[in-house]
Amino acid sequence: MTDFLSPNYLLTPSTLDTLADAITKLSPLAPQVNADGLCRLQPLSEGVLSSQALSSFVPLKKVFLPPREKLWSFQSGQFSALKQPEPFAVVGVPLCDLQALWYLDQVFADDLPYQNRRARALVVGMPCEQDKECRCDRQLMPLAGDLFLDQEHAWALSPAGEALLRACGAGETTNKPLPWPTASAGTRPMLTEEQYRSAADAAIWAEAAKGCLSCGACSVVCPTCYCFDMLDESATDGSVTRNRSWDNCFFAEHAKVAGGHDFRSGRANRLRFRMEHKFFGFGALHGQNSCVGCGRCRTVCPVDIDLDQIATRLSGEELA
């Protein structure tokens, strides 16, 4: 990966104002802290863009892969497909969440509902302040999205973002790198797949799983967890609706199949499965670490399970 993406532009105050007006016309969502102290993605209540990104409690994935959505319905002999979403914007996205969005773009490259939302969205990143749990890595994977803005510079992350910048009067280019946090709060352990495979019977799995509640909170807040279930609901009038909803690899029913066989019985097996996904990926993305280091899972886990600490034990490293 490179430390900056070209083209990038110097913003004048008038260009920034024009750009902000264009973005706010797209009914933007933005991470905002509520009275309960939680940061949530919600409609921007005022027409002024923030200058800083915030890490929302439930990440950007819920915008493009909703927790529950109707994919199609069948009634009176006719299919009704999902309606096309209206154009919208999401602003104030941190860099690590733009990496996670790139990962989801690969997973759902052939998924029509996901791609329809992506095609109609303008995703705008902004600089962030590091949280105590952050372990982001600019070299981990590319960024997705359309724009990245600070108060004086703009980076075009997509052709749509570049077109918008030019339409708003951006002209003078720069070579300023993207403003990644200067120092991570901690380093990530270098666990190899061979070390992971050879530790299938290591005591750490049972030790960590003993306290696990199988609540699934870590997967809910993870920006690259995407397990889902399909459910067809039929009514007495003959109509059928197909719904997609989030599933969770920590749930006891997740890997059960017809006949009652469970491919991952026990919390230790489910913990190993999640770690495999986060560190080594699956399918076409095998070998791609999907943990962007946002720290959400460590923040929400009620029993303080930390995959990096497990990886440190397995690799024999010391975690910074």
Residues 65-121 have pLDDT tens digits of 999 999 999 888 888 877 888 999 999 999 999 999 999 999 999 999 999 999 999
| Mean pLDDT (the chain, rounded) | 89
Question: Residue length, the chain?
Answer: 320
For residue 2, name the pLDDT band (cuts at 50, 70, 90).
very low
Query: Token pair for residue 286?
Result: 């095998």
Task: Give yes or no for residue 184 having a pLDDT over 70.
Answer: no
Show Cβ contacts of residue 170 under 8 Å, excluding neighbours closer than 6 positions.
9, 10, 11, 15, 19, 154
pLDDT at 141 over 70: yes
pLDDT for residue 185: 57
Bridge partners of 156?
A: 147
Comparing C-alpha atoms, which of 196, 211, 212 is closest to residue 273?
196
pLDDT of residue 4: 46
- Listed range (5-9, 75-79, 248-252) with the worst mean pLDDT: 5-9
Burial-class residue 48 by CB neighbours within 10 Å (0-12, 13-18, 19+): exposed
CB 42 within 8 A of CB 29: yes
Query: In sequence order, which ranges of 139-181 are alpha helices (DSSP H)?
Result: 159-167
Residue pLDDT, tens place only, 28-67: 999 999 999 999 999 987 767 888 899 999 999 999 999 9
Find, among 173, 170, 164, the residue nearest to 14 by Cα: 170
| End-to-end Cα spacing for the chain | 24
